[in-house]
């Protein structure tokens, strides 16, 4: 149940918040009265009356609209001053997703969520777990001369992430790993010796960084997931190719987190089993 506020306390809160909203936008009683079409004395009375009376809904709504806040906030029904349009704009945004190793936006989100668990379903295989040779093969055609610089920067970011207080859970479709090790599909043309070294690198990382790094394999025939990253309780990001769709509202973050946790529960290969599974999958490298 919600906490009920006494009429006198709510009236006091309304006056306090109305004065705060005026200060925030640099307005005064005269300008607010002009904007909403009332006498200045009406606004003066709103701010000075020490009784338990509240203005009518029309007047509250007009003040909220003029000051770009919500009526719920003015009346003490919400702790968020933003109006509905601003809340939607804040809770759902779209940003560019450059085809590059060093994505400043992604790194900033990691920094913001330091200390929280980060859940990740990559579009392919996670860059942070790839060897330099694989990164060069994948990115040099797109980055050209800047590939070495980008890879060096990516390695620095990985070192930072290793030292951060965040745990990482990564879910990968089983077929994606099969495709990589066999050099088929997206990974067609990737030399066998590079794939072999990458397999060794994965085994070493999964063993040395466990349990802070936990990688699971799930069957895409049973479960599907779009590429997503959940940065603790702060935001959830859906990768669309050219853009990131970013959610900051609690309900959507919770729903996407539940989706990821279902992938972990239903995974065919757990984080503990992955090193042994990779040893078995070496037979695919030819």
- pLDDT values of the chain reduced to their tens digit, one per residue, 286 residues: 445 677 888 888 899 999 999 998 888 999 999 999 999 999 998 898 777 788 898 998 899 889 888 888 888 887 766 555 554 555 657 776 665 555 678 888 888 898 999 999 999 998 888 898 998 898 877 766 566 766 776 677 667 777 888 899 999 999 999 999 999 999 999 999 999 999 999 999 999 999 999 999 999 999 999 999 999 999 999 998 888 999 988 889 999 999 999 999 999 999 999 999 999 999 999 8
Residues paired with residue 92 on neighbouring β-strands, in sequence order: 247
What token pair was written down for 173?
Answer: 């479709």
Q: Are 215 and 272 in contact (CB under 8 A)?
A: no
What token pair was written down for 10?
Answer: 């709510």
Coil, helix or strand at residue 240 = coil
Integer angstrom CA distances of residue 36 from 16, 60, 63, 67, 117: 19, 10, 7, 10, 47
CA distance 277 to 273: 6
CA distance 39 to 48: 15
CA distance 238 to 134: 24
Listed in order, strand segments (DSSP E) in 34-156 are 92-96, 118-121
Contacts of 247 (CB under 8 A, 6+ apart): 91, 92, 235, 236, 237, 238, 253, 256
């Amino acid at each position: 149940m919600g906490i009920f506020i006494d009429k006198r306390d709510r009236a006091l809160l309304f006056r306090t918040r109305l004065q705060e909203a005026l200060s925030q936008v640099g307005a005064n009683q005269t300008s607010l009265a002009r904007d909403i079409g009332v006498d200045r004395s009406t606004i003066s009375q709103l701010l000075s009356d020490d009784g338990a009376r509240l203005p009518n809904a029309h007047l509250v709504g007009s003040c909220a609209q003029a000051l770009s806040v919500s009526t719920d906030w003015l009346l003490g029904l919400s702790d968020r001053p933003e109006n509905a349009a601003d809340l939607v704009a804040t809770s759902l945004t779209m940003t560019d997703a450059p085809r590059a190793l060093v994505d400043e936006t992604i790194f900033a989100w990691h920094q913001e969520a330091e200390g929280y668990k980060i859940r990740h379903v990559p579009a392919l295989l996670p860059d942070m777990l790839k060897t330099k040779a694989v990164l060069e093969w994948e990115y040099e055609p797109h980055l050209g001369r800047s590939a070495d610089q980008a890879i060096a920067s990516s390695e620095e970011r990985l070192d930072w992430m290793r030292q951060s207080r965040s745990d990482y859970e990564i879910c990968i479709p089983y077929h994606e790993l099969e495709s990589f090790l066999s050099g088929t599909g997206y990974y067609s043309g990737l030399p066998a010796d590079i794939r072999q070294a990458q397999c060794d690198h994965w085994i070493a990382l999964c063993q040395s960084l466990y349990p802070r790094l936990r990688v699971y394999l799930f069957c895409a025939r049973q479960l599907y997931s779009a590429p997503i990253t959940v940065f603790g309780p702060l935001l959830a990001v859906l990768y669309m190719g050219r853009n990131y769709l970013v959610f900051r509202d609690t309900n959507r973050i919770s729903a996407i987190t539940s989706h990821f946790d279902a992938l972990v529960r239903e995974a065919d290969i757990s984080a503990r089993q992955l090193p042994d599974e990779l040893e078995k999958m070496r037979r695919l490298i030819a």
